[in-house]
């Protein structure tokens, strides 16, 4: 305990005696006094006993006159709504971590699944997303398949098969036409061959015979397309969608 000098001003009522005249018995005038009061200020000096409270490191008083140190001190302010509850340690809101609540917690890395399909982490939180063909339920976690998505794979397969049936015949016709042109060129080249062959004519023949490689390559492509067309061919009078052609 410390003795602390205290100086302050106070007010009080100061009495004053004032003389005045009044009428006395016997028709006489008498002199007497009366007391009045007025408010005045005076300076007061005295000593008081005051407790000297010193807080431990990391704590402070909530108010200047408090006798207890109940408020923790954080050298850096707590972020994202955190509260300083212990020296240099914050109590963080959900979705935040770290000593000063400055680290975003990735909820999507939790040991258990938070979403039915995909989890997307955001600052201080997360949200769920669904795969194509699904819609998010009101609970924000589960996904429901869209009615149109159920028929989409089957329709896509049918459209693809129909496209192949339309494209392959055109490609086969083009390749057949190229093969016929090359065969005609080969026949013309063989018809003009002299006997015996001179060196110059032999070089010309060699250039013309190179068309044979192109004929072989086109024949291979034609065979491959015919095989693909055979795989896609419909049987028993059916079309690409499984319906009778006669209907």
pLDDT of amino acid 104: 92
- Residue 122 Cα distances to 32, 80, 112, 116, 204, angstroms: 93, 14, 18, 17, 74
Q: Which domain, by its residues, includes 12?
A: 2-50
Among 73, 105, 137, the domain-final residue is: 105
In this structure, the answer to whether residues 8 and 76 fall within a common structural domain is no
Instruction: Summarize the confidence of residues 115-121 as an average pLDDT.
Output: 93
Among the candidates 69, 88, 105, a domain finishes at: 105
Name 149's Cβ contacts closer than 8 Å, sequence gap at least 6.
132, 133, 134
The per-residue b/e assignment along 200-210, b for 16 or more CB within 10 angstroms, e otherwise, is eeeeeeeebee
Whole-number Å distance between alpha carbons of 212 and 223: 17
The secondary structure element, H or E, covering residue 103 is: strand 103-104
Q: Model confidence over 52-83: pLDDT tens digits?
A: 788 999 999 988 878 889 999 999 999 999 99
- Report residue 243's pLDDT band, with 50, 70 and 90 as the boundaries: very low
φ, ψ of residue 42 in degrees (nearest 5): -140, 155
Give how many domains the chain has, as a whole number: 3
Residue 48 has pLDDT above 80, yes or no: no
Whether 169 is covered by a domain: the verdict is yes
Average pLDDT over residues 194-220: 62
Which CATH number characterizes residue 71's domain? Answer: 2.10.25.10
Looking at the domain assignment, is residue 80 inside a domain?
A: yes
Residues 46 and 75 in one domain: no
Q: For the ranges 95-109, 141-155, 226-240, which has the lowest average pLDDT?
A: 226-240
Residue 68 and residue 17 share a domain: no
For residues 171 and 211, membership in a common domain is answered with: yes
- Let me know if residue 237 belongs to a domain: no
Question: Which tokens hold the place of 57?
Answer: 């490191």
71-85, 133-147, 155-169: least confidently modelled range: 155-169
| Residue 64 domain flag | yes
Q: Is position 196 within any domain?
A: yes
Specify whether the CB–CB gap between 49 and 2 falls below 8 A.
yes
Distance of alpha carbon 47 from alpha carbon 49, whole angstroms: 7
Q: Where is 136: in which H helix or E strand?
A: strand 134-136
Percent of the chain with pLDDT over 90: 30
The answer to whether position 240 is within a domain reads no
Higher pLDDT, 87 or 237: 87
Instruction: Determine contact, residues 184/148, Cβ cutoff 8 Å.
Output: no
pLDDT of residue 71: 93
Residues 65 and 16 in one domain: no
Residues 163, 210 within the same domain: yes
**36 and 60 assigned to the same domain:** no
Closest CA to 130 of 144, 149, 113: 144
Q: pLDDT > 70: what percent of the chain?
A: 64
Q: How far apart are CA 203 and CA 88, in angstroms?
A: 93
Q: Is position 78 within any domain?
A: yes
My answer on whether 45 and 83 are in the same domain is: no
Q: Measured between alpha carbons, how far is 227 from 102 in angstroms, rounded to an integer? A: 65
Same domain, 43 and 94: no
Q: Establish if 128 belongs to a structural domain.
A: no
Confidence band (pLDDT; 50, 70, 90) for 241?
A: very low
């Amino acid at each position: 305990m410390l003795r602390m000098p205290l100086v302050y001003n106070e007010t009080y009522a100061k009495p004053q005696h004032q003389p005045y005249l009044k009428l006395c018995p016997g028709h006489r005038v008498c002199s007497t006094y009366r007391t009045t009061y007025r408010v005045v200020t005076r300076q007061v000096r005295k000593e008081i006993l005051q407790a000297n409270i010193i807080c431990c490191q990391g704590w402070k008083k909530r108010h200047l006159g408090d006798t207890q140190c109940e408020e923790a001190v954080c050298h850096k302010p707590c972020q994202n709504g955190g509260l300083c509850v212990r020296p240099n340690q914050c109590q963080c809101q959900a979705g935040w971590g770290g000593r000063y609540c400055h680290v975003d917690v990735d909820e999507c890395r939790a040991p258990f699944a938070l979403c039915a399909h995909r989890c997307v982490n955001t600052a201080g939180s997360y949200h769920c997303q669904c795969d194509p063909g699904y819609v998010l339920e009101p609970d924000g976690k589960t996904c429901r398949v869209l009615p149109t998505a159920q028929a989409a794979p089957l329709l896509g397969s049918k459209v693809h098969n129909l496209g192949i049936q339309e494209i392959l015949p055109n490609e086969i016709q083009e390749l057949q036409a190229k093969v016929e042109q090359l065969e005609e060129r080969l026949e013309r080249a063989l018809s003009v061959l002299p006997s015996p062959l001179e060196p110059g004519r032999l070089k010309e023949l060699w250039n013309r015979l190179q068309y044979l490689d192109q004929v072989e390559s086109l024949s291979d492509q034609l065979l491959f397309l015919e095989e693909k067309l055979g795989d896609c061919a419909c049987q028993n009078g059916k079309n690409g969608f499984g319906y009778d052609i006669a209907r």
